[in-house]
């Protein structure tokens, strides 16, 4: 052990401030839908418009081959019915550039009441998005704002796409629409999200869901455990495989931001299906709450705090009360964003307890973990996942890979065609576990 929470018995790297990433290169196909519309006859136009006005969302957004015939790209057309709107923006995760919001704005379509935006995207794109409408005179809020976060929040202030029935949930349970193109890995075991109908924008870093139980966490055992570092009572939701699905001790997964997985992403149903289908073996999962935004930023973003709670308070209880493996190789830690960073700190500081990290979009802009992880490179397994549209996180993940591969570390990086986004973190948790556990 490295001492109690908050101690600094070793020299940790200094934390850094966030850095704005490069502007994403998103080819907008202006006029793409208008050209197709003009090629239709009046009857087809009327039928299509009637379908939209009736709210038929069976196959939207429209996904079509690339105009230039490239097999690795698709034309993705978003449509929105808003005759009285003066501006409409697509808040697709990581694609809203605060320096050029016009690239994410819809165009008014020929007096039909439709607004249209077409992107040319890789065929395996996975994304959560919302549509925000401005009505009345003056600039839209996202046009008038000047600060990066204010622009992002204004662009995301609307709601899900009424034409798209596929919903996901963000950090606070706020609903977002999900587009998953045909080239993305299949995830037939993925359970439908359970959104909070009163939650606001689910942009990362927003207010977290509260600590109360909900219908979405039914079927999970709830553990209340005192954090010896700060005296606060933490909630941990425990997933156990179905009786009879395993004959011996199972792998154990420690999963950060547990309230999101337990309440809104319905991880229990996903795991039940994935285990039943043989995608992953039976395992136990402990979903650790991150309480609220301020607590999460303080306790989950560095080498102490939640990392020490897991090592000193949680793991001893889980290994004493659950039929799980007690070796480091059979214990996995995972999380996204700050949770991904905490996962890497966990194996760097406690490799004798936790030997495997599945870090999704780890916030490596905050700490350079190359040296701490180099010290345990021969003892741990590192699996990184990062979205190609989260520029700084993807670049720092690639750098960590480059730093550790020459040392013989068991490390890999999976580049996902997405942003900083629960829409892909959700299925890719299972993809990652399937890779680790066979």
The predicted-structure confidence for 222-232, as pLDDT tens digits, reads as follows: 999 999 999 99
Check whether residue 150 and residue 232 sit in a common domain.
no
CATH code, domain with 46: 2.60.40
The reply to whether 11 falls in a domain is no
Check whether residue 220 and residue 157 sit in a common domain.
no
For residue 202, the model assigns a pLDDT of 67
Check whether residue 151 and residue 220 sit in a common domain.
no
For residue 295, the model assigns a pLDDT of 86
Check whether residue 316 and residue 425 sit in a common domain.
yes
Check whether residue 158 and residue 219 sit in a common domain.
no
The reply to whether 142 falls in a domain is yes
The C-alpha atoms of residue 11 and residue 253 are separated, in whole angstroms, by: 28
Q: Which residue, chain included where needed, has tokens 């996901």?
A: 168
Strands 331-336 and 252-255, how do they pair?
Answer: parallel
The reply to whether 150 falls in a domain is yes
The reply to whether 197 falls in a domain is no
For residue 276, the model assigns a pLDDT of 95
**pLDDT > 50? residue 319:** yes
Query: Residue 359: phi, psi to the nearest 5?
Result: -100, 115
Check whether residue 54 and residue 158 sit in a common domain.
yes
Check whether residue 280 and residue 395 sit in a common domain.
yes
The reply to whether 193 falls in a domain is no
Check whether residue 308 and residue 374 sit in a common domain.
yes
Boundary (domain end) residue, out of 164, 185, 205: 164
Neighbours of 327 (CB within 10 A): 13
Check whether residue 234 and residue 337 sit in a common domain.
yes
Check whether residue 223 and residue 291 sit in a common domain.
yes
Q: Stretch 408-423: mean pLDDT, rounded?
A: 97
The C-alpha atoms of residue 196 and residue 170 are separated, in whole angstroms, by: 10
Domains in the chain, number: 2
Strands 331-336 and 381-387, how do they pair?
Answer: unpaired
Boundary (domain end) residue, out of 164, 191, 226: 164
Q: Which residue, chain included where needed, has tokens 């600039």?
A: 139
Q: Stretch 135-158: mean pLDDT, rounded?
A: 94
The reply to whether 21 falls in a domain is no
pTM: 0.93
**Of 231, 234, 213, 215, residue with least CA distance to 223:** 234
First vs last C-alpha separation in the chain: 31
The reply to whether 171 falls in a domain is no
The reply to whether 189 falls in a domain is no
Check whether residue 136 and residue 284 sit in a common domain.
no
**pLDDT > 70? residue 216:** no
Tokens of residue 328, six digits: 């480091």
Q: Stretch 129-148: mean pLDDT, rounded?
A: 95
The predicted-structure confidence for 86-118, as pLDDT tens digits, reads as follows: 999 999 999 999 989 999 999 999 889 999 999
pLDDT class of 58 with cuts at 50, 70, 90: low
CATH code, domain with 293: 3.40.50.1820
Boundary (domain end) residue, out of 148, 164, 180: 164
Domain that holds residue 121: 32-66+68-164
């Amino acid at each position: 052990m490295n001492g109690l929470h908050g101690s600094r018995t070793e020299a940790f790297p200094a934390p850094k401030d966030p850095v704005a990433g490069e502007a994403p290169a998103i080819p907008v196909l202006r006029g793409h839908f208008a050209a197709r519309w003009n090629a239709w006859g009046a009857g087809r136009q009327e039928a299509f418009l009637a379908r939209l006005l009736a709210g038929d969302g069976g196959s939207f957004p429209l996904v079509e081959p690339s105009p230039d015939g490239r097999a690795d790209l698709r034309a993705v057309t978003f449509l929105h019915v808003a005759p009285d709107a003066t501006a409409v923006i697509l808040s697709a995760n990581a694609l809203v550039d605060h320096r050029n919001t016009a690239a994410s704005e819809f165009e008014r379509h020929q007096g039909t009441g439709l607004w249209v935006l077409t992107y040319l995207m890789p065929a395996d794109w996975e994304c959560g998005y919302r549509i925000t409408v401005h009505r009345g005179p003056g600039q839209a809020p996202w046009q008038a704002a000047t600060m990066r976060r204010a622009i992002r929040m204004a662009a995301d202030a609307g709601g899900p796409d009424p034409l798209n029935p596929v919903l996901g949930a963000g950090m606070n349970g706020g609903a977002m629409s999900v587009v998953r193109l045909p080239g993305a890995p299949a995830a037939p075991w993925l359970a439908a999200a359970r959104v909070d109908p009163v939650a606001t924008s689910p942009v990362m870093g927003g207010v977290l869901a509260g600590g109360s139980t909900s219908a979405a966490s039914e079927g999970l055992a709830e553990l209340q455990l005192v954090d010896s570092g700060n005296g606060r009572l933490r909630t941990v939701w425990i997933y156990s495989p179905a009786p009879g699905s395993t004959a011996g001790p199972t792998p154990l997964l420690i999963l950060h931001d547990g309230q999101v997985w337990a309440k809104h992403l319905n991880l229990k149903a996903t795991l039940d299906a994935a285990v039943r289908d043989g995608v992953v073996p039976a395992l136990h999962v402990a979903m650790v709450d991150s309480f609220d935004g301020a607590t999460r930023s303080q306790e989950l973003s560095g080498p102490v705090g939640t990392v020490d709670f897991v090592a000193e308070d949680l793991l001893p209880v889980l290994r004493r009360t659950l039929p799980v493996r007690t070796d480091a190789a059979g214990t996995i830690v995972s999380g996204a964003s700050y949770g991904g960073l905490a996962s890497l700190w966990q194996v760097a500081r406690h490799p004798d307890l936790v030997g495997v990290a599945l870090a999704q979009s780890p916030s490596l802009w905050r700490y350079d973990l190359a040296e701490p992880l180099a010290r345990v490179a021969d003892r741990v397994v590192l699996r990184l996942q990062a979205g190609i549209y989260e520029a700084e996180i993807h670049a720092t993940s690639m750098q960590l890979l480059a730093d550790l591969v020459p040392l013989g570390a068991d490390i890999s990086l999976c580049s996902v065609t997405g942003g900083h986004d629960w829409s892909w973190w959700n299925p890719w948790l299972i993809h990652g576990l399937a890779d680790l556990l066979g």
